[in-house]
Chains A and B, each alone.
Chain A
Amino acid sequence: MTTQRFTGPARLRSLLNDGLTALPLIVAMAFAGWAVGAKAGLLMALCLGLFVAFGLALWRLRRFDRAWVIAALNAHRAEMEDSADLLFARAENLNPLQILQRQRLIERLPSPAVLTPPWRWKPVSFAVAAGLGIAALTAAFVWWPQIRVTPVALRRAEAGAPKLISAEVAVTPPAYTRQAAHRETTLDLKVPQNTRLTWRLRFAPDAANERLVFHDGQSVALRRDGNGWTATLSADRSRLYRLAADGLPAQPLHRLEVTPDAPPKVEAVLPDRALTLVTPGQTQWPLVFGASDDYGVAPTAELRIIQAQGQGENITFRERTMTLSGTGGAADKRFATRLDLNSLGFAVGDDLIVQLTVHDNRTPSPQEVRSPSLILRWPSDLGAESTGLEALARKTLPAYFRSQRQIIIDIEALLKEKPRLKPDTFLSRSDSIAVDQRLLRLRYGQFLGEEAEGEREAPPGQEGTHGDEHSAGDGHDHGESKGNAAPVFGDGGNVTAEYGHTHDEPEAATLLDPETRATLKKALDEMWQSELHLRQGNPQTALPHAYKALGYIKEVQQATRIFLSRVGPELPPIDNNRRMTGKREGIAPVPFAVTAAPSPDAPVVALWTALAETPGAKRDMPLAALDGWLRANEGRVSDPLSLLAAVEAVRADPGCTSCRQTLRGQLWRVLTRPPAGVVRRPAVTASGGRYLDALERPR
């Protein structure tokens, strides 16, 4: 006989009773948990309730054991005759009498249901009532403030200082940025330039004279709008601001950071280098530009085409403009075209320079950016490219011959003095002018390839070092020197060089165009005449020729092109006899005082020094001087808002060590590096001095 038979139904009934009792309480607890802590609260309360209820129920089941069965049978059934324990005793331990009694009991054994406890509705109803009570209390505590609105709460709040209870900023970026208008709940803002900002602030209790105070002193008053306050502003530059109102405690600083519209970026995709040389047979020039902008690139762009034609100094420019339309996204476009070189009239020696001008979509004034210039060059055959600056640095030899104008002046002076001069003096002076005229004629004659007559006068200091005689091997010998070279058929182009004698300077002869050559020839002829008459002692008749020569020379100078052959770089050696023989009176040293450049950031240095944790230093901080400096140098500071915020933090709490360190770090960015000075070596020590002296002793 097992007790299980009796305890099983009893345990089940007890469990059901307990479960029914616990259920309303668990539900109420779960509700309370949800009200306080949403999902997490609900879960926690549910777990806790189930755990506790299950534990209690299990603990309560422990009473249904063997003793309980025996006691219950004995108590409820008189026919058990207080011998129910025999039922569950082990048979081998019983004496015959006990076995007999046990047999009788088994026959009378009632159904197990008699021991099942009844349904207990009373605790269940209590539990339901308690659960409802808990739920009602919870609802009352959690939702009370929401339900009972303003009057009491407001009256309570009004007792203290005004407090910001809600802040909202409507951010409306300019339309061209194509950014959506949105609302921010923080007062630290980062917006595109010219964004329209509308603050909506609510204070409790309501404050008066509410305004936004900017770090530069500007302040914007807020208007009353319903039960809040509002102000509208267009953000044009980065600033710090704080809220202020009568009776409002000091508010923290907020950043209003404005990001300016960046100008578009243009780069040449094709060709990938600035200078391109024409390939043989090229008829088209493909061009591709990439343009990007932070908000948008204008759909069209202008391509400026400059064609440079001509050589040397005679270059003409032709400029025209094309409009290109871009492809691609709004903020990233490509502009491509192919230039037809034939239709542009591109020829040998020409340069084609193109440049793309791109706009962005900023309103009202779009920003304009030009691409780097791209050059297409058709190299001319006329020699190598000039490297430009080479001749500039050359030390040139001064011309030691007189100008035509000087000769005229000399002739006129001679004519004026004629009555006072003896005839032979007059003749010799006329002759000396003729010498000058000759030198000048020879000089200009070089440009026409004329062979110099007689001996060319060398510059002073080089007498005798340079003759101009023809000699073998000086470049224009007659053909006999080449006698051993076999004549080649068809090589007739150089007949002149072989058999003739051009008497040209190869460079100079080809440099002058025919008109210039003719004019120069006329000038030389006039010089000839002038010299002739001067030699003959007739400066009077020489003068008109000299004037004519001057006129022709002026014409030649005004001609479009003239090339002078290069002059040698050698300086004449210093003439030591003439050195330091001039007058030196009145030469006084010019004082060239150098004054130190003022430091551009003296207030920064002063504040930097004042902020240092220097033992024994005074602690007054020139913050006002820095404000002035910052207003003047805002462009130099990469992040002025952070610097300002650090300054404000120190101003608010001068004793705050970390604020001072932050400000010092910000100042370090701003400080310019002064010129490095001299570091003195420490004074010599006694032993060091003795050592240095001993080193010198053997000398």
Chain B
Amino acid sequence: MTPSVIVALMLLAAVVLSTARLGLWWRKAEAAERSLPRLVILLALTPVSALLLYLILFPPRLAAAPGTLIVATRGAQAVDAQAGDRVVALPEANVPGAERVPDLATALRLHPEATRLTVVGDGLTPRDRAAVEGRALRFVPSALPRGVVRLDTPERVAPGGAFQIGVTVNGMKGGMVELLDPAGAVVDTQTPDASGLAVLTGTAKAAGPVSFTVRVRDFTKAVVETAEAPVWVDEALTARVRVIGGAPGPEIKYLRRWAADAGIDMQAQFALGGGVAAGDAPQPLTAATLSQADLLVIDERGWEGLGDSGRAAVVSAVRGGMGLLLRPTALPSEATSAQWAALGLRLSGTGDPVTVSLPVAAGSKDKAPTVTRLNLRLDSADAVPLAVDSSGQPLGLWRAEGRGRVGLWSVTDSFALTLSGEGGRHQALWSGLFSTLVRRSNAALPTVTAGRVHQRVSLCGLSGAAEVLDPQGGVSHPVVDTATGEARCAAVWPAQAGWHVLRVTTSDTVQAVPFYVLSDKALPGVQALEARESTQALVADDARPTETKGEGRRGTAGPWFLGWLLVSAVLWWVERNPIKGVSLFGKKARPTKS
């Protein structure tokens, strides 16, 4: 017994009752009162009225045509709908005449017959992506806006370190991209390449959040877009580095100077032969002491002086995670070369000193600084350059060995950079070398996805009690979803833009991971590209058959109501004017008084 059946029965009963009442009245009424047309009208219109009332309450279902549902998203311009297509507009879209829906899931519930979707505009927001779920989807993207469509800020920056910001701009032929420091001074200018990509380089000074600005100018030098590029500079980390050499020299001297200033704990020792040593207090070279070191820098004479057991300890320490930098100062002996080749780094050549120039920024008028390297051919099956010279030849190589990394560095007088006024370059060079090779940190930090205001930010790897501090000083406590298992993920929906800090407290450590939340208006081009790429990933030609075979949607009740009102009015008129009701029809025929 559905409501519609109950109502239908009630209405039927009412019609029967009223017909019966009419019949009784006809029989009782005097002949003069009887009016056949009136009776006929009443008898005919009563069921009609009841039927219309039913249709008001339960309008007939719409024809379920298997058309395409056209979903207009942000930036949708014209929608060309074919016959049978339905157009819905999501809240971000501004398409006149389309049916407005709060989200895609609602639209799909309203139109369950739609198994084919056509998305027009920028693309689906994260809110709507899950709703697509197996439906055939076609995507007609609108043009990307002019300006920044991708902005990659560095994840980890050390104080004093250089960092790169990748900017992809759209529709900016002949334009340029500038990086402005917090004081508003332009620190780097790049011309985007054919694909629109430009890499800007800045330097961090002190720890903490710092806001750089990326400014895009078109070919007339007019500013097209100004975007904030937030960077978080981490506190300087210390690393324990051991240096073993055959002789002290300026290279090690300037390396120690940099290490001391940069907060690196460096222990250097030189066995001069004959039992004479120089440098810091010598430490034994055992597996235990090497497990305390993050990086070992050793030259070929130091390597030869290690002995077989020492070399075995070093290799096993590297496999356990330590970094190893081999720094030949001359052509190593056959035996040493063979041992290094066993670590995957083969070298051949004369070992004569060769002067090479370091790369300089394009367009820079400065003379390229030069260093001396050994004329060695570095060769490895699976190594990556540590640094390259101005002609793109590697100055050193590194490769992964077990859990650690081993590098080979052929430059012998990088200290000359300091002497020629390029101290920053010397520091940057060694900072890059050390950062590449140094032992990984022990504690795994939680990972945070990039986010926007009111969008889901997922936090994973929460090993302890987690709290998220927002810029206004508020604290929220995300709850770990047990369904994520080992990954231990939670999510927050930040309400404010700006730097947030995820703080994870375990019994012995407190980890703080800063993450930046963009405002929903920031970087519209980035948002558009992200929506476009995510929607593109959902594009599918064939729909998975959906089991939703639900009832069709009912039409609107408006026309039925009007009809019912009309019929009821006639009924009322005829009912209220028993005699005039007859004359109602004759009234027009009566001649008017002139």
Using a CB–CB distance below 8 Å, which chain A residues touch chain B? 580, 584, 587, 589-597, 605, 608-609, 612-616, 661, 664-666, 668-669, 671-686, 689, 692-693, 695-696
Beta-carbon contact of A678 and B503 below 8 Å: no
Known A594-B257, A678-B431, A679-B158; contact A673-B203, beta-carbon cutoff 8 A: yes
Beta-carbon contact of A683 and B445 below 8 Å: yes
Q: Mark B258-283, 1 if CB is under 8 A from A, else 0.
A: 11111110100000011111111100
* Cα-based distance from A580 to B274 in the complex (angstroms): 7
Known A612-B209, A676-B161; contact A682-B441, beta-carbon cutoff 8 A: yes
Known A589-B277, A685-B444; contact A679-B234, beta-carbon cutoff 8 A: yes
Checking B156, B161, B274, B473 against A616 with a beta-carbon cut-off of 8 angstroms, the contacting residue is B473
| Contacting residues, chain A, for B206 (C-beta < 8 A) | 605, 608-609, 671, 674
Beta-carbon contact of B256 and A594 below 8 Å: yes
| Contacting residues, chain A, for B266 (C-beta < 8 A) | 594
Beta-carbon contact of B470 and A587 below 8 Å: no
Known A616-B469, A675-B262; contact A668-B442, beta-carbon cutoff 8 A: no
Using a CB–CB distance below 8 Å, which chain B residues touch chain A? 156-162, 181-185, 203, 205-210, 234, 236-239, 256-264, 266, 273-281, 319, 400-403, 424, 427-428, 431, 434-435, 438-445, 469-471, 473, 475, 486, 498-501, 503, 514
Distance in Å: Cβ of B171 to nearest Cβ of chain A: 31
Beta-carbon contact of A677 and B264 below 8 Å: yes
Beta-carbon contact of A678 and B158 below 8 Å: yes
| Contacting residues, chain A, for B443 (C-beta < 8 A) | 683
Checking A665, A666, A668, A678 against B435 with a beta-carbon cut-off of 8 angstroms, the contacting residue is A678
Beta-carbon contact of B207 and A676 below 8 Å: no
Beta-carbon contact of A614 and B261 below 8 Å: no
Beta-carbon contact of B438 and A590 below 8 Å: no
* Cα-based distance from A589 to B206 in the complex (angstroms): 37
Known A674-B206, A678-B438; contact A587-B276, beta-carbon cutoff 8 A: yes
| Contacting residues, chain B, for A693 (C-beta < 8 A) | 402-403
Among B206, B209, B234, B278, the most chain A Cβ lie within 10 Å of the Cβ of: B206
| Contacting residues, chain B, for A695 (C-beta < 8 A) | 400
| Contacting residues, chain A, for B424 (C-beta < 8 A) | 673, 676
Distance in Å: Cβ of A634 to nearest Cβ of chain B: 18
* Cα-based distance from A105 to B185 in the complex (angstroms): 98
Distance in Å: Cβ of B446 to nearest Cβ of chain A: 10
Query: How many residue pairs bridge A and B at CB < 8 Å?
Result: 169
Distance in Å: Cβ of B415 to nearest Cβ of chain A: 14
Known A596-B263, A613-B471, A684-B403; contact A679-B183, beta-carbon cutoff 8 A: no
* Cα-based distance from A693 to B236 in the complex (angstroms): 30
Known A605-B206, A680-B239; contact A674-B159, beta-carbon cutoff 8 A: yes
Nearest opposing residue in chain A for B208, CB measure: A612
Checking A614, A668, A677, A689 against B263 with a beta-carbon cut-off of 8 angstroms, the contacting residue is A677
Could you list 19 further interchain pairs (A-B, Cβ under 8 angstroms) beyond the known A676-B159, A689-B403? A580-B273, A584-B274, A597-B261, A609-B208, A614-B499, A666-B183, A668-B205, A669-B185, A674-B206, A674-B236, A674-B262, A676-B424, A676-B427, A679-B237, A679-B435, A680-B239, A682-B440, A683-B441, A686-B486
Beta-carbon contact of A682 and B444 below 8 Å: yes
Checking B160, B260, B428, B501 against A674 with a beta-carbon cut-off of 8 angstroms, the contacting residue is B160
Known A669-B183, A683-B444; contact A692-B203, beta-carbon cutoff 8 A: no
* Cα-based distance from A307 to B259 in the complex (angstroms): 52
* Cα-based distance from A676 to B257 in the complex (angstroms): 12
Beta-carbon contact of A680 and B208 below 8 Å: no
Distance in Å: Cβ of A367 to nearest Cβ of chain B: 29
Among A580, A597, A683, the most chain B Cβ lie within 10 Å of the Cβ of: A683
Distance in Å: Cβ of A142 to nearest Cβ of chain B: 47
Distance in Å: Cβ of B210 to nearest Cβ of chain A: 8
| Contacting residues, chain B, for A677 (C-beta < 8 A) | 158-161, 236-237, 262-264, 431
Beta-carbon contact of A609 and B440 below 8 Å: no
Among A614, A615, A678, A682, the most chain B Cβ lie within 10 Å of the Cβ of: A678
Beta-carbon contact of B431 and A676 below 8 Å: yes
Q: Could you name 22 residue pairs across A and B whose Cβ atoms are closer than 8 Å?
A: A580-B274, A591-B280, A594-B259, A596-B261, A609-B207, A613-B499, A615-B500, A615-B514, A616-B469, A672-B205, A673-B160, A676-B158, A676-B262, A676-B427, A677-B160, A677-B263, A678-B264, A679-B158, A680-B439, A682-B441, A692-B403, A696-B401
Nearest opposing residue in chain B for A582, CB measure: B274
Beta-carbon contact of B281 and A591 below 8 Å: yes
| Contacting residues, chain B, for A594 (C-beta < 8 A) | 256-257, 259-260, 266
Beta-carbon contact of B279 and A589 below 8 Å: yes
* Cα-based distance from A9 to B341 in the complex (angstroms): 123
Beta-carbon contact of A613 and B209 below 8 Å: yes
Beta-carbon contact of A665 and B182 below 8 Å: yes
Nearest opposing residue in chain A for B161, CB measure: A676
| Contacting residues, chain B, for A605 (C-beta < 8 A) | 206
Known A612-B208, A682-B444; contact A676-B160, beta-carbon cutoff 8 A: yes
Beta-carbon contact of B156 and A615 below 8 Å: no
Beta-carbon contact of A679 and B440 below 8 Å: no
| Contacting residues, chain B, for A664 (C-beta < 8 A) | 182
Known A591-B280, A594-B256, A615-B500; contact A675-B261, beta-carbon cutoff 8 A: yes
Beta-carbon contact of B275 and A584 below 8 Å: yes
* Cα-based distance from A677 to B402 in the complex (angstroms): 25
* Cα-based distance from A677 to B439 in the complex (angstroms): 14
Nearest opposing residue in chain A for B428, CB measure: A676
* Cα-based distance from A144 to B312 in the complex (angstroms): 103
* Cα-based distance from A26 to B271 in the complex (angstroms): 109
Beta-carbon contact of B262 and A678 below 8 Å: yes
| Contacting residues, chain A, for B259 (C-beta < 8 A) | 594
Nearest opposing residue in chain B for A605, CB measure: B206
| Contacting residues, chain B, for A668 (C-beta < 8 A) | 181-183, 205, 210
| Contacting residues, chain B, for A609 (C-beta < 8 A) | 206-208
Nearest opposing residue in chain A for B163, CB measure: A679
Beta-carbon contact of A684 and B499 below 8 Å: no
| Contacting residues, chain A, for B514 (C-beta < 8 A) | 615
Nearest opposing residue in chain A for B159, CB measure: A674
Beta-carbon contact of B441 and A681 below 8 Å: yes
| Contacting residues, chain A, for B445 (C-beta < 8 A) | 682-683
* Cα-based distance from A678 to B498 in the complex (angstroms): 27
Beta-carbon contact of A676 and B162 below 8 Å: yes
Beta-carbon contact of A696 and B280 below 8 Å: no
Beta-carbon contact of A680 and B257 below 8 Å: no
| Contacting residues, chain B, for A608 (C-beta < 8 A) | 205-206, 208
* Cα-based distance from A683 to B281 in the complex (angstroms): 31
| Contacting residues, chain B, for A666 (C-beta < 8 A) | 183
| Contacting residues, chain A, for B278 (C-beta < 8 A) | 589-590
| Contacting residues, chain A, for B434 (C-beta < 8 A) | 678
* Cα-based distance from A329 to B44 in the complex (angstroms): 116
Nearest opposing residue in chain B for A616, CB measure: B469
Q: What are the nearest 4 A-B pairs in CB distance? A: A615-B469, A676-B431, A674-B160, A683-B444
Checking B185, B280, B400, B471 against A615 with a beta-carbon cut-off of 8 angstroms, the contacting residue is B471
Beta-carbon contact of A674 and B205 below 8 Å: yes
| Contacting residues, chain A, for B208 (C-beta < 8 A) | 608-609, 612, 614
Checking B183, B262, B276, B428 against A584 with a beta-carbon cut-off of 8 angstroms, the contacting residue is B276
Nearest opposing residue in chain A for B184, CB measure: A665
Beta-carbon contact of B237 and A680 below 8 Å: yes
Beta-carbon contact of A665 and B427 below 8 Å: no
* Cα-based distance from A686 to B488 in the complex (angstroms): 13
Checking A591, A665, A681 against B440 with a beta-carbon cut-off of 8 angstroms, the contacting residue is A681
Nearest opposing residue in chain A for B207, CB measure: A609
Distance in Å: Cβ of A650 to nearest Cβ of chain B: 15
Among A661, A671, A673, the most chain B Cβ lie within 10 Å of the Cβ of: A673
Beta-carbon contact of B205 and A678 below 8 Å: no
Beta-carbon contact of B262 and A615 below 8 Å: no
| Contacting residues, chain A, for B319 (C-beta < 8 A) | 696
Among A605, A676, A686, the most chain B Cβ lie within 10 Å of the Cβ of: A676
Beta-carbon contact of A692 and B438 below 8 Å: no
| Contacting residues, chain B, for A590 (C-beta < 8 A) | 278
| Contacting residues, chain B, for A591 (C-beta < 8 A) | 280-281
| Contacting residues, chain A, for B281 (C-beta < 8 A) | 591
